[in-house]
Amino acid sequence: MNFRHKYMFLLPGLLVLLGILIFPIGFTVRLSLSSWDSFYPGLDFIGIENYIRLFTDDLRFWEAFGRLSMLSLTTVFLQYVIGFSLALMVWKDIVFQRFFRVLFLIPMMTTPVIMTVIWRTFFHESLGPVNDFFNLFGMNPLWLSSEILAKFTVILVEVWQWTPFMFLLLLAGLLSLPKEPYLAASIDGAGPIRTFVYVTFPLMAPISIGAIIIRLIEASKIMDTVYVLTSGGPGTSTETSSFYIFIKGLREFQFGYSAALSLTYLIIMIISFTIIAKILVKLMVRGN
């Protein structure tokens, strides 16, 4: 075969890759070096001014980033713990095992935006059924307009919505585990706790790391829940990076600046996930 023919076969895939991945990234890089906004549209060149502004004069972005880190780490941690517990529960032969397996998956089958609207109605401070209940005890918690409780509500909705995904991955992992390590642990005299700590947890580590990383990537994109539930409020107390970039780009139409925000966010995320994955491998696989 002629050497050039190889490239002919590669070309269709390469063109698709170029069109959907490389061009948008390249264009975003170029856009971030411009001052394109609603007043002065066009790809002018202003060097790294947008980046200087981001690093010297935009505390709100970094606060949003800190909030995002807290929200995503907390929600994914809770999803992992609850998802793993539920998966362990229906992994063993229990009564109504199939029923519970389906039941735990229901939140994942619903449309996130619609469910968030329903949750917003539940937590409505004067009309919602949650406060109807709390009113019986003379309490009226501000689920959506208190800085702390609004964060709690966002976490609650995210955990409810996405724990089933974690549950599904971990249950699939548990069902694929070999029997021999459990027989060996039983022969060695290990009880249920030792068996979990020394057999189940280490065997599940690769699957756990995969599930955690997938969910962290998804959680870091959190947008619809915040948008529908609190719109980033009260004030900016539930505003996350993606929501802030959305405001800058699609509400204030600062395309150039939001491109710089997006790229910075992307690079930080790549570095963060690389470090997190390494830490998880060290903690969970090697047991250090």
Which residues here bind other proteins, judged by CB under 8 A?
178, 180-181, 183-184, 186-191, 194, 198-199, 202, 286-287
Residue 162, phi then psi, degrees to nearest 5: -110, -5
Q: Which is nearer to other proteins, 77 or 182 (CB)?
A: 182
**In angstroms, what is the minimal distance from the CB of 278 to other proteins?**
17
Q: Which is nearer to other proteins, 5 or 286 (CB)?
A: 286
**In angstroms, what is the minimal distance from the CB of 87 to other proteins?**
20
- The DSSP string of 102-125 is HHTTHHHHS-HHHHHHHHHHHT-T
Q: Which is nearer to other proteins, 112 or 181 (CB)?
A: 181
Residue 99: how many CB atoms within 10 A of its CB? 11
Q: Which is nearer to other proteins, 251 or 286 (CB)?
A: 286
Contact 49/256 with Cβ under 8 angstroms?
no
- Helices and strands: H and E segment counts in the chain: 15, 0
**In angstroms, what is the minimal distance from the CB of 132 to other proteins?**
49
Q: Which is nearer to other proteins, 206 or 233 (CB)?
A: 206
**In angstroms, what is the minimal distance from the CB of 29 to other proteins?**
43
**In angstroms, what is the minimal distance from the CB of 265 to other proteins?**
35
Instruction: List the one residue out of 244, 279, 241 whose CA is nearest residue 72.
Output: 241
Q: How far is 100 from 168, CA to CA, in rounded Å? A: 12
Residue 209: how many CB atoms within 10 A of its CB? 18
